[in-house]
Structure 1
Amino acid sequence: MSSEFTPYAQFPGGVIAQPPCRMLNANMYGFFVKGDINKIQNYLDETLGLVKEYHFKAISQYCMLTFTDIENIKPTTEPWASQGYFQETDVIIWLPVAKMQDDKIKHIYWYPAFICVNNIYALINGRETWGFNKYLCDYVMPAKGQSPDYFSMTVDAFKTYSPDTKMASCELFNVKMVAKDTESAIENFVDLVKEGMKLLESEVNFFDMDFSVYKQLLSGFINPKIDQLLFKQLPNGDATNAVYQNVLHSPSVIQKFHSGCLYFHEFEFTLNQVDMFPLSDMFGIKVGSQRPLLPFNMLFDFNQEAALNL
């Protein structure tokens, strides 16, 4: 029997908790890294595009890379809300995506296309319930209040595909500060949008659309929520077909903005070649080093709502 109306078996020892989840003290560092809009579009077509009811368009050659340490997470639904809380760090590559209708942009979403986390509970619940494309990782990032000097993410992976390659720990990418400059404090998400727009107005082809739509893209920070688009699928027993496949929507609803700032330091992003996670093929991010744009930091609380059909 297979139906989304079939009750889910909550058996003893199972670790699937019902959403939503509330997240306290999410300390997010962000950078915009240049990719290739054609490869990003191919990635959208190979994932979201498999659900034929919708058409999604890549609207930027840039991906947003975030490192976020979330101090305290727990579901808000009982009995899970009374079982305890956990910490999670996630490292995400986000794609700004337009839902199209009659060749017009109907809505802008953030698609967390590649996610690595440090917590197995977060990985299982994120993949099984929401459909987040999560993998385990180790990471380095500054704690709250520390200088944003260095970030890195390491995964267990096949670095080079061959019959004799043993899975091992590989650094996929890092970000380091190479020249120190000033920082500009922001009081709320509106300030982030305004200051970010000033910085990016001169960047040619930052978004593949006019600037008015760019404002719509970032309006989610003002609402305040971040509209996330998810591609959820479950394979059959021999992983040749999907027993479930759909595009879902789950908003991150901002509850409180604690602090934030824009960085004018110079950073260097370096991507290493790891065959198991070919970000150059996925998003067109070139192996090697580049200067990321719009580095920022935010500390906030938010709720991750349930994932619903788009």
Structure 2
Amino acid sequence: MASQHLLYSHFLSNPVAKPPCRMSNAKMYGFFAKIDPLKVQNYIDSTLNLVATDELYFKGIGEYALLTFTDIEKIASLTPPFSEQGWMQETDIIIWLPIAQVEKQGTDEDITHLYWYPAFICVNNIYALINGRETWGYNKYLCDYQMPSSVEMLTDFSVSLDCFKHFSPSSKLQSQQLFTVTKNTATQTGGLLSALEDFGEQVANLFAGDHLGIDLSLLKQLLSGFVNPQMDQILFKQFPDGQGDKAVYQAVLHSPSEIKKIHQFKLLSGDYQLHLQQVDSFPLAQMFGLQLGSQAVHLPFYIKMDFDQLHATQILPT
């Protein structure tokens, strides 16, 4: 399309910077939660597969999503002149779906790539929201949150958003708690770094019972990718027209996170629970099959790292 060749205007007061950007001292806590593959596939079909072709489409894999809370101490663009403008702190809370890219030739279908899809993401500042949505296509929303200030002193995790708890003509936008993650026991955290080498295998074993039909080495590469050395992200980016009926832009993008340095890694001991509320604006039970009320989460971990978020490239339409 001709619009793809227009130069983007970084006019005065426009807060959109250029990638890549460096994330320093990112402290991530992660948990694997059981999901419903049919509901996940419906979500994928309503986003990524809107631009699928007869030769290429996307499907969810397995029965687990990854929930992360990440406190990034410092983010700055690496591209002048934006690299000279300053830096920010950012906190991301994300639900990641493991995604397979399927290519078809006649009746044959092959899984050619595995991605992480940040299907739900909320952040704590407006600059992060605007840049994430406008450039990469992250479906970001503003939130309030609680998370531990230190892995040595673990506390509860929670997310609240300004939204509608129940859709109705009389509903007023106000803050609603969406979910919490709590620890059941007061045991100490797991060993430092020694578990990192085996982490991808441990997570792959969590998925192994799903009989995915995916080569185990490829699965291990996906599931260890966010700690060694690259996490491939797939994104659905769209913008509506002035009536909200048509998309003036709609595409599937790919953006890698390149891990530059791992400062610390721990498997967290003890049992953790995800407690989910029904919120009509963000119906995570309907979207992904997460259980309303409480459900166990698995393989809790902590990692502190530096990474670069690279620019996004378009996969579809080609």
Same fold per TM (> 0.5)? Answer: yes
- 1:158-177 counterparts in 2 under 5 A? 158-177=164-183
Instruction: State how far apart, in whole Å, the 2-side matches of 1:186 and 1:20 are.
Output: 30
Q: TM-score, normalising length from structure 1? A: 0.94
Contact 1:193-1:221 at 8 Å conserved across structures: no
Alignment partner of 1:227 out of 224, 232, 238? 232
Contact 1:232-1:248 at 8 Å conserved across structures: yes
The residue that corresponds to 2:50 in the other structure is 50
Following TM superposition, by how much is the alpha carbon of 1:146 offset from its aligned partner in structure 2, in angstroms?
3.7
Q: For 1:12, what is the secondary structure of its paired residue? A: coil
Provide structure 2 residue ranges, at least 5 long, that are not aligned to the other structure.
none
Q: Say if 2:257 is the partner of 1:252.
A: yes
Instruction: State how far apart, in whole Å, the 2-side matches of 1:201 and 1:119 are.
Output: 36
Following TM superposition, by how much is the alpha carbon of 1:219 offset from its aligned partner in structure 2, in angstroms?
4.7
- 1:83-232 counterparts in 2 under 5 A? 83-102=85-104, 103-187=109-193, 191-192=195-196, 194-195=198-199, 197-198=201-202, 201=205, 205=209, 208-210=212-214, 211-221=216-226, 223-232=228-237
Instruction: State how far apart, in whole Å, the 2-side matches of 1:141 and 1:36 are.
Output: 26
In the alignment, residue 261 of structure 1 is paired with which amino acid?
Answer: K
Instruction: State how far apart, in whole Å, the 1-side matches of 2:206 and 2:50 are.
Output: 36
Over the residues paired in the alignment, what is the CA RMSD in angstroms? 1.9
Alignment partner of 1:295 out of 291, 300, 304? 300
The residue that corresponds to 1:241 in the other structure is 246
Instruction: State how far apart, in whole Å, the 2-side matches of 1:11 and 1:298 are.
Output: 38
Distance 1:155 1:99, change over 3 A: same
The residue that corresponds to 2:274 in the other structure is 269
Q: For 1:194, what is the secondary structure of its paired residue? A: helix
Q: For 1:201, what is the secondary structure of its paired residue? A: helix
Contact 1:249-1:309 at 8 Å conserved across structures: yes
Q: Say if 2:308 is the partner of 1:306.
A: no
In the alignment, residue 37 of structure 2 is paired with which amino acid?
Answer: I
Instruction: State how far apart, in whole Å, the 2-side matches of 1:207 and 1:238 are.
Output: 45
Provide structure 1 residue ranges, at least 5 long, that are not aligned to the other structure.
none
Contact 1:59-1:207 at 8 Å conserved across structures: no
Instruction: State how far apart, in whole Å, the 2-side matches of 1:161 and 1:5 are.
Output: 41
Instruction: State how far apart, in whole Å, the 1-side matches of 2:277 and 2:12 are.
Output: 42
Following TM superposition, by how much is the alpha carbon of 1:218 offset from its aligned partner in structure 2, in angstroms?
2.3
Instruction: State how far apart, in whole Å, the 2-side matches of 1:263 and 1:206 are.
Output: 24
Distance 1:207 1:158, change over 3 A: farther
Distance 1:287 1:124, change over 3 A: same
Q: Which moved more, 1:146-155 or 1:106-115?
A: 146-155
Q: For 1:292, what is the secondary structure of its paired residue? A: strand
Contact 2:204-2:223 at 8 Å conserved across structures: no
Contact 2:204-2:220 at 8 Å conserved across structures: no
The residue that corresponds to 2:18 in the other structure is 18
In the alignment, residue 42 of structure 1 is paired with which amino acid?
Answer: N
